[in-house]
Amino acid sequence: MEYFEPKSIGDALSLLSKHGAEAKVIAGGTDVMVDIKFKEEPGALVNIKKIPSLAGITERGGSLRIGALTTIRDIETSALVREKLPVLWDACRQFASLQVRNTATIGGNICRASPSGESLTPLLVLEANAILAFSDGERSEPFKTFFQGPGKSAAGAKGLLTEVDIPIPPAGSKGVYLKHAVRGAMDIAMVGVAVMLTPDAGKNNAQDVRIGLGAVGPTPLRAPKTEALLKGKALTAALIKEAGALAATEASPITDQRSSAENRRWIVEALTRRGLEQTWKAATGKEVA
Amino acid sequence: MSVKINTTINGQAVSASAEASTSLLEFLRDTLEMKGSKLCCNTGECGACTVIYNGKPINSCVTMAADANGAQITTIEGLADGDKLHPVQQAFIDTGAVQCGYCTPGYIMSVKALLDRTKKPTQADIEEAVSGNICRCTGYNKIVDAIHLAAAKL
């Protein structure tokens, strides 16, 4: 295995162009090191941690920009993220162990493109964009189209994720990330559900509702039919029940060692209901009628 | 491909070479013959290999040895002052928080990092700090007792 520590984005892109599918980018290493030990070594390992200015959280023009090398712990402990992007904060605090959060990067979690990746459904509901560098220039790709399948993303073999651009939701918007797993944060999620709710000015209706479903499809998913059902309405117990059942039909889970597909649909239903109840109460100050 | 590693371990400058695919844990145990950090799951799930890397607890089994370059690393071997044990080590003995002992070095490093960042940890701080450490003998209550005792003594 060849090994490289590029010092610039340009150098990293040249290495990826040269080595193509043989190359593997490594950042924190909490996934890639396991692959190296238990699956196979790549032909060339490209460690991007020596590239300056790829880590950090900054507010810029109504967005938060999070560098690809920012650790999950740095996101979890950022007062800015907790205040402006509670749905992402909530996911990062349920992300494996402290040791892993101290090492794992958001860029790695994204580029791994696992349907169960903790940060992915929050990024979908936040309608965030991946900032990708290619040898012929930079482009911004919405996460809606970034994720293409398990382990497959718009970064491909030759692109490098440099930053995540996250529009800050309107003030008053609330978000939660709910994870179902046997061993809490330590486990890979059987199901993860991200819910974001923005109330109208009078806090009487849900002006906007966004629902993200994790580990129940080849990519993290949105639940557009469920969102449309709820938009502009006051959330009642009956409506939330209907929304949970509809969200379960929008998931396309598989059966694997962690859960059956049927069980996953039940959990989607339960977590969607719970997420709607919690965000409605947080956003409007009212219990669900 | 071999990589040259210049690092600081327990306050001492160390210079050695390792294959690029080597984990920090393998570097510590096999290259430097420091066997205190334990190899267990080797996938970043059990915490037996925990070391403190630039002030933060990490799993050395899923960290590249190459990333030790320029870093400050503290391992279990760096805690005692000669024959005098570190207060966290002594607290684990005094409360009987050690059963088979295999997970103990990892726990102690997680607790050392916790008490470095907060002198008066809450129960929630403690549970978070050791949530990535597994004790297969399941003596968790005594481990929590040890952490409270160490916090009181430090």
- Residue B23 touches chain A, beta carbons under 8 Å: yes
pLDDT score, position A184: 79
Q: Pick from A56, A51, A60, A48: which is nearest to A111 by CA? A: A48
* Average pLDDT rounded to a whole number, residues A129-136: 97
CATH number for B2-78: choose from 2.130.10.10, 3.30.70.580, 2.50.20.10, 3.10.20.30: 3.10.20.30
Using alpha carbons only, give the angle B115, B53, B128 rounded to the nearest 5 degrees: 45
Give chain B's mean pLDDT. 97
Over 80: is that where the pLDDT of B67 sits?
A: yes
- Bridge partners of residue A141, in order along the sequence: A130
Show residues of chain A in contact with B3, CB under 8 Å.
3
User: What's the CATH fold of domain B87-153?
Assistant: DNA polymerase; domain 1 (1.10.150)
Are B50 and A99 a contacting pair at CB < 8 A?
yes
Distance CA A284, CA A123 (A): 23
Residues 6+ apart with CB under 8 A from B97: B91, B104, B107, B139, B142, B143, B145, B146
**DSSP helix/strand/coil, B28:** helix
Banded model confidence at residue A183, pLDDT cuts 50, 70, 90: confident
Are A100 and B61 a contacting pair at CB < 8 A?
no
Q: Where in chain A is the domain with CATH 3.30.465.10?
A: 2-49+57-167
Q: Where in chain A is the domain with CATH 3.30.390.50?
A: 174-283
Distance CA A161, CA A113 (A): 12
* Average pLDDT rounded to a whole number, residues A106-113: 97
What is the ipTM for the molecules in this complex?
0.96
Q: Where in chain B is the domain with CATH 1.10.150.120?
A: 87-153
Q: Tokens for B151?
A: 């916090």
The per-residue DSSP string of B102-150 comes to SSHHHHHHHHHHHHHH-SS--HHHHHHHTTT---TT--HHHHHHHHHHH
Q: Which residues of A touch B (CB under 8 A)?
A: 1-3, 5, 26, 29-30, 33-34, 36-38, 41, 45, 47, 49, 73, 96-100, 102-103, 184-186
Q: Tokens for B128?
A: 């978070």
The torsion region of residue A184 among left (phi > 0), alpha (psi -120 to 50) and beta comes to left
pLDDT in tens, B27-58: 999 999 999 999 999 999 999 999 999 999 99
How many percent of chain A have pLDDT more than 90?
96
pLDDT in tens, A146-169: 999 999 999 999 999 999 999 999
Q: Where in chain B is the domain with CATH 3.10.20.30?
A: 2-78
User: What's the CATH fold of domain A2-49+57-167?
Assistant: 3.30.465
pLDDT in tens, A81-96: 999 999 999 999 999 9
Over 90: is that where the pLDDT of A186 sits?
A: no
pLDDT in tens, A218-264: 999 999 999 999 999 999 999 999 999 999 999 999 999 899 999 99
Exposure of A236 in the CB half-sphere (CA atoms within 13 A): 3
Show residues of chain B in contact with A47, CB under 8 Å.
64, 66-67
Letter string b/e over residues B47-69, b meaning 16 or more CB atoms within 10 A of that residue's CB: bbbbbbbeebbbbbbbbbbbbbe
CATH superfamily of A174-283: CO dehydrogenase flavoprotein, C-terminal domain (3.30.390.50)
Instruction: Answer for the pair A66, A129: CB distance below 8 angstroms, yes or no.
Output: no
pLDDT score, position A241: 98
**What are the E-state strand segments in B10-106?**
12-19, 50-53, 56-59, 72-74
Q: Tokens for B81?
A: 């002052």
